[in-house]
Amino acid sequence: MRNIIVGAGLTGAVLANLIAIVLKEKVLIIDKRDTIAGNIYDEKDSQTGIIVHKYGPHIFHTNNEKVWAFLSKYTEWYDFSFMPNAYINGKFVNIPFNINTIYQLFPSEKAQKLEEKLIREYGYDASIPLLEMLKNPDNDISFISNYIYEYMFKNYTIKQWGFDPKEIDKSITARVPIRISKDNRYFTDKYQGIPLNGYTKMVENILNHPNITIKLNTDFKFVSGHYDRIFYTGSIDEYFDYKYGELPYRSLEFDVREIDKEYYQKSAMTNYPNDYDFTRIVEHKHFLNTKSDKTIITMEYPKQFVLNKNERFYPIAKPENQELYDKYMKEANKIKGLYFIGRLGAYKYLNMDQAVENVFEFFENRIKGELINA
């Protein structure tokens, strides 16, 4: 079998690994970039030793034992709990919005009343998506949910997506629910961490097998020859030369700066919902607790994706976009041996663990299934 994987990101790498080790077949993996690892690419700054996440902050988190066990074969982990902040009304507060945030923003008597009401209404330790909480007619709950909407979500979401939170799929804002507890962690998954030697090294280890050949600086557009199986982790509209139109994406511009002081901010990420044009500032040395006199930060500016100008980072969850994707998939399904997978290929807002989980499912159900039925 001649196998080609288009895209050497996490999806492509895990798939190549399974083809090489489980099927014992040879596979060529290509990427148009000059690096492996796709959007989880990171690199060590030679002066400070700080590993910089080139395409936005990446924190691995999962409840999936199988995914954790698989990746743990290829990396050791730095035990990192992500506890970011947001700058709201002149104060640096905890996010996800939780009971601690309430005490940071309101006088203690008011905060206590809100805390009691939230616990009575939802129970301690509940996680409530903002759009759910906004439906609650109770005066106090309505006060706090509207406050969170106004100061934490509205302007951030308009910057990030170009839409109000109520105009995008509710799963997007539900990624950061309101916590009725004092847990400041962004993620509550059982397994969390940062690869001790970086994500790129982890992907390099996943791809390190004699059956796998890697070719970088290679766009599929310019690849010739016959392949029995094409696994495409790029965007499906590009594969079909945009015959039905372009799938929209959100892009980002990264402003990376070296700062001549030990620390710039308290945590790895500070969100700025209402101030400045960027959404957040990431300080990379926090991820692995790297010691250095200097620090490196990245300011993240959301942008519209424009073909041949910038990169695709976020699929935009809207029904009309899904319809366009489905139209392309109908074409794809007619072609034997052509598969679309990954955050771009599936046009889904996948976290890293979901991307790996999808490869496992795809490999078991589609590839091994097809072999059994052949």
Q: Write out the residues near ligand UDP by the rule CB under 6 A.
A: 86, 95, 152-153, 156-157, 160, 172-173, 175-176, 271, 273
Compare residues 39 and 94 and give the one whose CB is closer to ligand FAD: 39
Q: Is the peptide bond before 248 cis (omega within 30 degrees of 0)?
A: no
At its nearest, how many Å lie between ligand UDP and the CB of residue 313?
A: 8
At its nearest, how many Å lie between ligand UDP and the CB of residue 363?
A: 25
Q: What is the total count of residues that contact ligand FAD (CB under 6 A)?
A: 36
How many residues would you count in the chain? 374
Q: Specify which residues 44 forms β-bridges with.
A: 51
Binding mask 128-147 for ligand FAD (x = CB under 6 A): --------------------
| Binding of residue 165 to ligand FAD (CB under 6 A) | no
Residue with tokens 């809207």: 318
Report how far residue 230's alpha carbon sits from residue 151's, in angstroms, rounded to the nearest whole number.
46
Q: What are phi and psi of 345, to 5 degrees?
A: -60, -35
At its nearest, how many Å lie between ligand UDP and the CB of residue 200?
A: 19
- For residue 110, what are the contacts with CB-CB under 8 A and spacing of at least 6? none
Residue 65 contact partner, candidates ligand UDP, ligand FAD, none, CB within 5 to 8 A by sort of partner: none
Compare residues 10 and 172 and give the one whose CB is closer to ligand UDP: 172
Q: Which stretch binds ligand FAD (CB under 6 A): 27-35, 72-80, 156-164, 172-180?
A: 27-35
Distances (CA, A) of 137 to 12, 98, 116, 163: 47, 20, 16, 25
| Binding of residue 19 to ligand FAD (CB under 6 A) | no
Which of 33, 116, 17 lies closest to 344 in space, CA to CA? 33
Secondary structure element (H or E) that encloses residue 241, with its range: none
| Binding of residue 51 to ligand FAD (CB under 6 A) | no
| Binding of residue 248 to ligand FAD (CB under 6 A) | no
Alpha helices in 149-245 (DSSP H): 155-161, 170-173, 199-207, 236-239
Compare residues 86 and 133 and give the one whose CB is closer to ligand UDP: 86
Report how far residue 127's alpha carbon sits from residue 107's, in angstroms, rounded to the nearest whole number.
23
The answer to whether 329 and 81 have CB atoms below 8 angstroms apart is no
Q: Which of residues 321-350 bind ligand FAD (CB under 6 A)?
A: 342-344, 350
At its nearest, how many Å lie between ligand UDP and the CB of residue 225?
A: 37
Compare residues 38 and 165 and give the one whose CB is closer to ligand FAD: 38
| Binding of residue 233 to ligand FAD (CB under 6 A) | yes
Q: Specify which residues 194 forms β-bridges with.
A: 78
Q: Which stretch binds ligand FAD (CB under 6 A): 18-26, 110-118, 214-222, 266-274?
A: 214-222
The answer to whether 18 and 3 have CB atoms below 8 angstroms apart is no
Report how far residue 80's alpha carbon sits from residue 98's, in angstroms, rounded to the nearest whole number.
20
Positions that interact with ligand FAD (CB under 6 A): 6-12, 30-33, 38-40, 55-60, 219-221, 233-234, 238, 252, 313, 342-344, 350-353, 355
